Amino acid sequence: MRGFILFALVTGVVFVYLRQHQDEPPPAPTKPVATHTTPAPLAPAPRGQASEYNWMKRSLDRAHDVADQSRARAEQSQQH
């Protein structure tokens, strides 16, 4: 008996779902905005000039700066 009630509920939900989608008008075809063009190649931003929202680039820039500073300190300490 429980199985029949569960089957009836699932069937009812599927029926209602399909009926709603059947009543919707099909979407109007959109006009193409532009013809096929090749995008311009992306040039990387200069180091240290990443966008405010590009946290990945800023993190990499910071890591490179820290590595450069560390390398410079090591070279300076070996020279003295």
Please tell me the predicted confidence (pLDDT) of residue 2: 86
Domain span holding position 55: 51-80
Structural domain total, the chain:
1
Would 11 be classed as within a structural domain? no
Is position 19 within any domain? no
Give yes or no for a contact between 48 and 62, defined as CB atoms under 8 angstroms apart: no
Q: Write the CB contacts of 50 (distance below 8 Å, at least 6 apart in sequence).
A: 57, 58, 61
pLDDT tens per residue across span 18-64: 888 776 676 677 776 666 677 777 666 677 676 777 888 888 888 99
Residue 28 lies in a domain: no
Rounded Cα distance between 69 and 71, Å, is 5
CA distance 39 to 28: 28
The answer to whether residue 14 sits within a structural domain is: no
